[in-house]
Amino acid sequence: MEEKNTDKKPVEPRSNKEKEQIINRLKRIEGQVRGIQNMVENDRYCMDILIQLSAIQAAIKKVGYTVMERHTKKCVAHSIKNGDGEGMIEELLEIIKQYSK
Amino acid sequence: MEEKNTDKKPVEPRSNKEKEQIINRLKRIEGQVRGIQNMVENDRYCMDILIQLSAIQAAIKKVGYTVMERHTKKCVAHSIKNGDGEGMIEELLEIIKQYSK
Amino acid sequence: MEEKNTDKKPVEPRSNKEKEQIINRLKRIEGQVRGIQNMVENDRYCMDILIQLSAIQAAIKKVGYTVMERHTKKCVAHSIKNGDGEGMIEELLEIIKQYSK
Amino acid sequence: MEEKNTDKKPVEPRSNKEKEQIINRLKRIEGQVRGIQNMVENDRYCMDILIQLSAIQAAIKKVGYTVMERHTKKCVAHSIKNGDGEGMIEELLEIIKQYSK
């Protein structure tokens, strides 16, 4: 899926608190990725590296669900209430398929 | 799965070239994670963020397969040749299940 | 996730054509499952069996997306229009997580 | 992945007990698929159908891991001991990627 909506915004702006929570989680993930770089540098055992990679995948999936839930409750619900939800629902299902890979 | 083997090493040390290739890919992923932090900071549209998160998932999975392939060809194969492969195969299958989540 | 809604129905009944299409796909999957039973009976090569199992997984996922899309466009959209969509959206996200495993 | 090995056999034939165990699990899955056909016929609630589909996915994945484990311990290990394991390991990793979708 290509990025299509570069200037589009959520129907309701994220609060600073919302932003902070997601960014903190992403910063932890960033730190985990750096941690794995060190593990590779120090030639750590493959399984330990794979376990860490798997932990990052789980963390990213959770961030994705948080964004997906808010999107569905705000943007998708808003468009459904305005009678033009079909396109948004199809867009949502497209990303759900992407996430199930 | 908990990290168990902190001092264990691959049966054959990774070459500098191997390390460099994996670390470069991890650095790109690190940059992508920072990129998403900016998207959240700039309140970008949810779908664009979800597409980027999905791209990171795919990139991490690929790094995982690279590590898994080397591990199977080197560590697992080595232990099988030495007649004690069962434990290593079970360990491998455990991480495969983890990756299929 | 436990089955909770045994007597609950979709907000809009499925047409006979819709039913027929899904049931035909499920019958093909049923046939594929029987096919694998024969492969096991005839001690076929493991990879061939794994490839068939993987094909069934893909077919089931597609049936799931069809049911999920209709559910979102009909049941979820209906409840959102009636102002009580939160519960339905959370239910939807729960099954999305289930499908991403 | 296309089926390639139609006449190839596991390096060690499956015992009748092994066959019986896998076939019984596949028969249960077959029954579950028929069960969903009835649910669709009776226009059951979408979530209940999705939960059942998800249960079948989990059951099929487990059968896959059983086949994959035996394959790795028998066929892959055998070829590694004979010094020509690379191709088998690559074949194994190909199916692992398939299963992680």
Residue C58 per-residue DSSP state: H
User: Residue C69 and residue D74: Cα distance in Å, rounded?
Assistant: 43
Q: Degrees (nearest 5) of the Cα angle D60, B88, B92?
A: 35
Please write the tens of the pLDDT for every residue from C32-41. Answer: 999 999 999 9
- As a whole number of angstroms, the distance between CA B43 and CA B11 comes to 47
pLDDT given for residue C100 in this prediction: 72
**In this predicted structure, what is the pLDDT of residue A1?**
56
The model's confidence at residue D11, banded by pLDDT at 50, 70 and 90, is very high
Q: How many CB atoms lie within 10 A of CB D92?
A: 24
pLDDT at residue C4, as a whole number: 57
Q: What is the mean pLDDT of residues C68-97?
A: 93
pLDDT digits (tens, 9 = 90+) for B57-82: 999 999 999 999 999 999 999 999 99
Contact A13, B53 (CB under 8 A): no
* Segment D15-28, tens digit of pLDDT: 999 999 999 999 99
pLDDT band per the 50, 70, 90 thresholds, residue D4? low
Is 60 exceeded by the pLDDT of residue D41? yes
Query: Which run of H or of E encompasses B98?
Result: helix B86-99
| Token output for B43 | 């309140």
C-alpha span between C3 and C35 (Å, rounded): 29
Helix (H, G, I), strand (E, B) or coil at C74: helix
- Whether residue B74 contacts residue B10, with contact meaning beta carbons closer than 8 Å, is answered with yes
- Residue percentage of chain A with pLDDT more than 70: 93
Structure tokens at C45: 């090569």
Q: What is the mean pLDDT of residues C60-85?
A: 94
Give rounded-to-5 percent helix, strand, coil for chain B. Answer: 75, 0, 25
Collapsed DSSP state (helix, strand, coil) of residue C73? helix
| Rounded CA separation C89/C87 (Å) | 5
Measured between CB atoms, which of A73, A77, A93 is closest to C65? A93
Assess whether pLDDT exceeds 70 at residue C3.
Answer: no
The pLDDT-based confidence of D97 (bands split at 50, 70, 90) is: confident
Q: ∠ CA B16-B17-B22 to the nearest 5 degrees?
A: 100
DSSP symbols for D37-72: HHHHHTT--HHHHHHHHHHHHHHHHHHHHHHHHHHI
Of C100, C101, C72, the residue nearest C88 (C-alpha) = C72
Class for the domain spanning A17-99? mainly alpha
Which conformational region is residue D43 in: left (phi greater than 0), alpha (psi within -120 to 50 degrees), or beta? Answer: left
Q: Is A8 on the interface with D (CB under 8 A)?
A: no
pLDDT tens per residue across span B9-24: 999 999 999 999 999 9
Q: Which residues of A fall within a CB distance of 8 Å from C85?
A: 73, 77, 80
What mean pLDDT comes out for the span C85-94?
A: 92
CA angle B30, B34, B39 (to 5 degrees): 145
Residues C45-64 have a mean pLDDT of: 96
Give me the pLDDT at residue A99, please: 78
pLDDT exceeds 60 at position C60: yes
What per-residue confidence (pLDDT) applies to D79? Answer: 94
CB nearest to C81's CB, from A68, A81, A97: A81
Is the per-residue pLDDT at B5 higher than 80? Answer: no
- Report residue B101's pLDDT band, with 50, 70 and 90 as the boundaries: low
Instruction: Judge residue C70's burial from the number of C-beta atoms within 10 Å of its C-beta, 0-12 exposed, 13-18 middle, 19 or more buried.
Output: middle
Task: Quickly state the pLDDT bin for B2 (edges 50, 70, 90).
Answer: low
Does the pLDDT value for residue B41 go beyond 90?
yes
How sure is the predictor about D54, in pLDDT bands with cuts at 50, 70 and 90? Answer: very high
**Which CATH code for domain C16-99?**
1.20.58.1000
With contact defined as beta carbons under 8 Å apart, do B63 and B25 qualify?
yes
Q: What is the pLDDT of residues A12-48, one digit of tens each?
A: 999 999 999 999 999 999 999 999 999 999 999 999 9
Task: Give tens-digit pLDDT for D57-70.
Answer: 999 999 999 999 99
Mean pLDDT of D60-89: 94
Distance of residue A27 Cα from the nearest chain D Cα, in angstroms:
26
Residue A60 near chain C (CB below 8 Å)? no
Model confidence pLDDT, tens digit, residues B81-92: 998 889 999 999
Chains with 3 or more CB pairs under 8 A to chain A:
B, C, D
Residue B101 at interface with chain C, using a CB cutoff of 8 Å: yes
Q: Residue B47: is its pLDDT beyond 80?
A: yes
* Category of D83 on φ-ψ map: left (φ > 0), alpha (ψ -120 to 50) or beta: left
B38 close to A (CB below 8 A): no
